[in-house]
Structures are given as C-alpha cells and as structure tokens.
Copies of this chain bind each other. A is one copy, B any other.
Amino acid sequence: MFRIGDFSRLARVTIKTLHHYDEAGLLTPARVDHLTGYRYYAAAQLETLQRILSLKDLGFSLDEIRGLLERGFDPERMTERLDERRIQLLSSLEAEQARLRRLDALRASLSGAGAQPQSIPVVTLREAAPIDVHSRRQRVASLGVEVQKMFETAEATVAQVRARADASPFLIFHDPEYCEANADVEACIPVKAGAQARLDTRIVPAESIGCVTYRGPYDQTPVLYEAMLRWMERSGLALAGPLREVYHRFGADQSGYRLPNHVLATSSADYVTELQAPVAPLVPTRGE
C-alpha cells in the first residue's frame, strides 16, 4: 500500500490529480481510512494509473477512459475508439500545419516594408457546407442590369413554389480570371432541401473558402479581389474553383417575391457583400 504522496511521486502526477480521478470514479484507492479519510493505493494500481495516463495522452477524455476500462476490456470497442481518435488527430494535425503556414505568411508580411495593422488578414478561411440552389447561368456584357434581372427572375421562380431558404443569394464567376466585361456568370438563390421535385436545382459542393466581407457599393470588388489573391499567395493557397460574390444586404425590386427587411438596403452605401474564393493548399497535405 502506498500513501497518496508516495504514489503520486512514483507516477509523476499531482495529489490533486489522484483526488480528481477518485471523485470521477476512474481510480478509487484500494483502501480509504474511515476515520482520517486517508487514501491508500495498491502497487497494482500504479499500472492502472499508467494505462489511464496513456489513454489520456492519446486524447481521450476521462469519461471515455472510464468507459473503456471499467466493465472489462473490450478490444473491439477500443479499436473503434482508436480509429475515431485517429481521424480526429489527423485532421487536427492538418489544421495545425495550415495554422503554421498562416502564421508564417503573417510573419513574412510584417518583415516587409509596409508593416501596418493592415497586415493582419481580414480574409478568413472556413469550410463551407454544400448548399442547394436554384440558378441561372449566362454570359453578360457587363455586371449591371443584366445580372440584376437574372436574380429577379430566379427569386420570382423560387418564390412561386415557396422554396426560398434563409440564406444570401450569390453570383458565381465562371471565367478563369475575374472580369467585368463579357462575363460568364451564374446567379444562385439558396433553396430549401427537398425542393428538387418542384424546381430545377443544383448543389454547390462543400469547399474550403477564403472570405472577405465589405460594406458599400460593388465597385470595391476588384480591390478586395487583389487583397484576396495576395492573402492566398502568402498563405500557400491556390484558387480551387470559381470565385463568387455573396449578397448579404442589397437593393431589390421585389416584384413577384418578398425578402425579409434586414437583407434590404435602400442606399448602395449600406450594401453588404462578401467575396468568396474556393482554395486548396499549394503544398499537398500529408495524410496517411
């Protein structure tokens, strides 16, 4: 039998940790003195503790460890849990590597001449979920009235079958380079899942995207597109799909459909627009 202090020294954990494992029902002392409350541990419990610490090191929570150890040892369940953890670990490894790339990018941009608060990126990287849309695609002479018309008719069509989802409409630029004249564009209206029966829909797939949001008239897009490209370059990312512009707040005609008030702007100064660029790492990430 070991007193808690000796036991903790041998296992190189704190007494508080042992208290905690006792409370959590993970490792109950072999004997507890009824009068003094002193905890005494058996030599064999040193091994149990090491197993607990091994599993904790692999990233399991104390609850999971209790589940894995308490009712006998089930190698199959253990294998399953390990496989789950493996996947989590791999993706967190990739995430950390991406983080490191972004950190290096920021560092590099600071050591350049124009070190300014502007160096801290406003572009954010996120994983976009797949989204159902009703869309119309065509080539337009310029990004003006023609595009507006595409959205109006698409909105009206979706409104007729009451399939509008509560998400912002967006425009996809299908040309390899962003261009404003003679552009191949697709106007997309998010629709509810399950609207395929009543409507011509397609799914915009899940992607990693870089995003920047800005307020004001649309003429800022080219500037932000440049900023986006610089960010991608510094972050070690490459364009992996067509660019798109999401309209969070905008002006609309509303003939044949109705939009909630909070998405409508009366002045172009109040427009809220987001530029999105699907991206993929230039350096392929190491997986298996």
Residues of A within 8 A of B (CB): 6, 9-12, 43, 46-47, 50-51, 53-55, 57-59, 69, 73, 75, 78-79, 82-83, 85-86, 89-90, 92-93, 96-97, 99-100, 102-104, 106-107, 110-111, 115-117, 119-124, 126, 212-216, 248, 262, 272, 274
A102 to B85, alpha carbons, bound, how many Å? 12
Choose one: B53, B100, B120, B213; the contact of A55 (CB below 8 Å). B120
Chain B residues contacting A216 (CB-CB under 8 Å) are: 43
Q: Report chain B residues within 8 Å CB of A103.
A: 58, 82, 85-86, 89
The copy count of this chain in the complex is 2
Closest residue of B by beta carbon distance from A92:
B96
Residue with the greatest number of chain B CB neighbours at <10 A, chosen from A46, A85, A106, A117:
A117
Q: Which B-chain residue is minimally distant from A69 (CB atoms)?
A: B117
Q: Establish whether residues B82 and A93, one from each chain, have CB atoms under 8 Å apart when the complex forms.
A: no
Residues B100 and A89 in contact, CB atoms below 8 Å apart: yes
Measured in the bound complex, the distance between the Cα atoms of B49 and A121 in whole Å is 11
B215 contacts A43, CB within 8 Å? yes
Chain B residues lying within 8 Å of A83, measured Cβ to Cβ, are 107
Known contacts A79-B111, A86-B100, A111-B79; A10 and B106 CB within 8 A of each other: no
Given contacts A55-B120, A57-B99, whether A213 and B10 have CB atoms under 8 Å apart is: yes
Q: What is the CB-to-nearest-CB distance from A206 to chain B, in angstroms, rounded to a whole number?
A: 15
Most central of A11, A93, A213, A216 by chain B CB within 10 Å: A213
| In the complex, chain B residues whose CB is within 8 Å of the CB of A107 | 79, 82-83, 86
Closest B residue, CB atoms, query A10: B213
Chain B residues, CB < 8 A from A212 = 50
The answer for the CA separation of A120 and B78 in the assembled complex, in Å, is 10
The smallest C-beta distance from A92 to any residue of chain B, in angstroms, reads 7
Shortest CB-to-CB span from A124 to chain B, Å, is 6
Knowing A116-B73, A124-B54, say if A90 contacts B100 (CB, 8 Å). Answer: yes
Provide a sorted-by-A list of 11 A–B residue pairs whose CB atoms are within 8 angstroms. A43-B215, A50-B213, A53-B124, A54-B122, A73-B116, A86-B100, A86-B103, A86-B107, A90-B100, A93-B96, A96-B96
